[in-house]
Amino acid sequence: MKNVGRIDRIVRLILGVLLIAASVVLQITTGHLWWMGLIGIVLLGTSALSFCPLYAPFKIHTN
């Protein structure tokens, strides 16, 4: 069941890509910001599937 709408998907896609890029750049310079990339991957996954597991228990739908 899809619970993520079009605008929400686009925002998640953009934020996911930005977080992954920032994680790669900052990982090279500081060496300890891997968690930003992990959050970016989760955002890309929820964007691709149009489903957010955190929305489900609260019955939130943006579509």
Pair of tokens at residue 20: 């992954």
CA–chain centroid gap for 27, Å, is 18
- For residue 30, what pLDDT is reported? 79
Domain presence at residue 38: yes
37 is in which domain, residue-wise? Answer: 6-52
Q: Give the model confidence (pLDDT) of 6-54 as tens digits.
A: 999 999 999 999 999 999 988 877 778 888 999 999 999 999 999 999 9
User: Pick from 47, 34, 36, 39: which is nearest to 3 by CA?
Assistant: 47
43 within some domain: yes
- How many domains are there within the chain? 1
Cut 0.85: pTM above it: yes
Write down the residue that tokens 């929305």 correspond to: 55
**What is the reported pLDDT for 32?**
80
